[in-house]
Amino acid sequence: MLTNTIDPNTWVDKYSDYLFNYTIVRVDDKEIAQDLVQETFLAGLKSMKNFKGEASERTWLISILKRKIIDYYRKINSKKGKAEVRLNYNSDTDSEGDWLEERVADPFDANAEGEIENKELGTAIHHCIGKLPEKQATIFKMKTIQGFDTETICNEYSITASNLWVIIHRARTALAACLEKNWF
């Protein structure tokens, strides 16, 4: 039995201030925050048929907004070096997900801390990396965050390039599952 319903006619009155306040803290730009909230409402309208009533209307809109914020950072950071994390946004489509390229700082690197535009996502990513097996986490960080080349990593760990990419793939899969559980 569905306990929550959806009424887009009330969204602006009920949720616009809350969604804006949620967004402005994460993007620190009034116009961008307003645009992201508008995009969230539009995406909500387009995907109303997917609302299952399992979460509140506000929680559902926040989950859409989080994806919009991620897309915003992915777009502005797409040409810079980042960790890549595979996230399955829509489990009901043929698509396997979208690439999220987000700046992830090494917590031991004081200079990188100031470069994290999305601290909440960075914290969630580091938390999830911490849950990976030690070797997998180290190899993932070396390749995707620290930018080591394949040959260097393979030589250090006495593995083949194919083995390296299997490890990276498994790490991405585990990170995606962890982020969907703990961040979305």
How confident is the model over 46-104, as pLDDT tens digits? 888 878 877 888 888 988 999 898 888 888 776 544 444 444 444 444 444 444 433 34
Question: What pLDDT is stored for residue 135 in this prediction?
Answer: 92
Question: What pLDDT is stored for residue 32 in this prediction?
Answer: 92
- DSSP character string of the chain: -------GGGHHHHHHHHHHHHHHHHH--HHHHHHHHHHHHHHHHHTGGG--SSS-HHHHHHHHHHHHHHHHHHHHHTTS--EEEEE---TTSS---EEEEE----TT-HHHHTT-S-HHHHHHHHHHHHTS-HHHHHHHIIIIIS---HHHHHHHHT--HHHHHHHHHHHHHHHHHHHHHHT-
Model-level pTM?
A: 0.44
pLDDT digits over 128-182, tens only?
889 999 999 999 888 887 888 889 899 989 999 889 989 989 998 898 888 888 7
State mean pLDDT over 40-45. Answer: 91
